[in-house]
Structure 1
Amino acid sequence: MDNAALIALGEKYVMRTYGRYPLALVRGEGARVWDADGREYLDFVSGLAVNSLGHCHPRVVAAVREQVGKLIHCSNLYWIEPQVELAQLLVENSALDKVFFCNSGAEANEAAIKLARKYAKEHRGPESYEIITMRRSFHGRTLATLTATGQEKFHRGFAPLPAGFKYVPFNDLASLRAAVGPRTCAVMLEPVQGEGGVYAANKDYLQAVRALCDDEGLLLIFDEVQCGLGRTGYLFAYQYYGVEPDIMTLAKALAGGVPIGAMLAKEKAAAAFGPGDHASTFGGNPLATAAGVAAFKALLEEGLVENARVLGEYFYQELERLAREFPQLTDVRGRGFLLGIEIDGPADAVVAACQERGLLINSLHGHVLRFLPPLTISKDEIDQAIAILKEALQEVLGQGAN
């Protein structure tokens, strides 16, 4: 089927919970994807930071093929070999001690919320259940993670929302300190906000948040679902800040495209969970964790984190150069390969113009262009993307200054 046929069938049979671009992607390899009409695109969306190894990385493909022939699923009533191996890799390469596996970032954040409440009730008292999150944050679409998300647009139509969440401005320590009360059990934030518009935490702010949590006996939760696993040029975003969380959530890139989520915790917090406190039927299944082992080893062994740090800085500088040519580009921000440009103009039109020229990017809130290339991207591919973006900006905004 071509694009038109697939879109027609999708409109007929699939719930309209997504605003979709008018093409159907059917194949991918590395940083390239092809639609049902055979057109090729350079993919700087990467499945919204999922395909950090590029599409169909050979190590992940081989691991999935092998595992499918051995054991696709078994219950967590039994020990699962690749699950244990992936947990070991995560713990030995992070500052956390134990891992709970699930199937998505939202589920990982649900697990973090439950663990924080359970821990607080044991260590701070039965009325300690409130979690402070940040304005512009995004933590998921379940009722609890939707409520944790500090963006009112995601809340509309779903009241009554669960109790137990407060919101404060990001990078504002005074507001956070004022929000802490006897019911507070944790602070939850993204070191680099992705969905909220690509905003990075200030280093001194995160260090002060860690100190505040220590002083008040609160858990510090880092949502690294989008910004973790090499995307910021560090294996985990917290490493740049020199701040260790008590709980960290991962998903997206963890299994190279296969659905998975993980909630990691320091021993003191992890000990609050006992058998029956939390579970997931498919969490940590053999197929997903075998893919995760292969993907994580590729991340560690193929220089991809360093590539994100070095070429991420090059990409940032090239975007800044474009911003000097086009005064409507008012701010370049982000870290590594999680970058955004604030645009005083129609961001969606720029996305469409890029797509017509063979580059996939996306927009946020109608005024931010977001770039999430795979960590395998080359300098030549960045240059190609910049050239296409410049043409698109010239079409939509008018000729640049230079």
Structure 2
Amino acid sequence: MSGMSGGDPRLVQLLTPEGERVEHPDYHLQLTDQDYRDLYRDMELIRRVDFEATALQRQGELGIWASLLGQEAAQIGSGRALRPQDMAFPTYREHGVAWCRGVDPVRILGTFRGNDQGGWDPADHNFQLYTIVIGAQTLHATGYAMGIAKDGRVGGDDPAKDEAAIVYFGDGATSQGDVNEAFIWSSVFTAPVVFFCQNNQYAISEPLERQTRVPLYQRASGFGFPGVRVDGNDVLATYAVTQDALNKARGGEGPSLIEAYTYRMGAHTTNDDPTKYRIASEVESWKLKDPIARMKSFLIRQQVADNDYFDSVKADADALAAKLRADCLSMPEPAPDSIFDHVYPHGSPELDAQRATFTRYLDSFADAPAGGHR
């Protein structure tokens, strides 16, 4: 699968792969030097989180891990375009968006370690729990967005108070019925939702051509709302395009689809072997479009960051990785019967009976001889 070139008119790009700033007629972005540095720092830190989590899984400390390697710009750019009142609906790979929403990365590790079923309160961060069922979150986001509209928090007298929802999914999810149903409902009800598709070229082992015969962003027109393809390895373009789509949603213009054209440099998860279905030269060609290297080149070109700054970011990343590892290894093991604690807010007779049966089962091992199973 070949990458898009910067000259492709369908691809919104503000940074070339070499880190040169270019203009786009429809998307203009003015950020401070500190904003540029912060975007770079976000990407570096979340990549280090990703590396550390992968290492923890390989060492038997996590059950599985879904890497975001190569997709940092798509996630950080879109995540930083959100306002505090907006609600985000992730898949299981949006570690960068979680970072932007203030979720402690160790809370994410708790889910993949099996210590909890979602270690943060969505209301505290306006960031929903990870969704494993492919595409289901698009319906959740559409329903939530319809609620925003019903509550009158769209197109109000004070645009700063208006809200929108954004939902993340991959190219493979576009083949799911849930996603297409969400497109229909959001369009008909003018729901303030942004559909953010990270097209990383593969749905596990299936290449993009097994999902579609047209560019994914063009699907939006069939449902009656706009679609745009952005260079997903360009953090500035991703920020600008997402900001524009969210502004339109909050203003009452309804849904839109963003196709962030990017590449999954690593495996689908740590259980996957990508060498079985893609060639090394393809991976190497995309490494030349690395989103972090691109942003670093831009900072150097613009003379807004020096070696001292890059060294400080590396030191911050080292400290974050060390803390993440220590916090992960020190997580308390949950009690087996805690699986019953949050099924219903006030319990139920059936749940109480199941808990009692399970407790008796656990207690039956109390007098087991040494070497018995528990």
By the TM > 0.5 criterion, same fold? no
Question: Structure 1-normalised TM-score?
Answer: 0.33
TM-score by length of 2: 0.35
If each structure's strand is expressed as a fraction of its own residues, which one has the higher value?
1
Select the structure that is richer in helix: 2
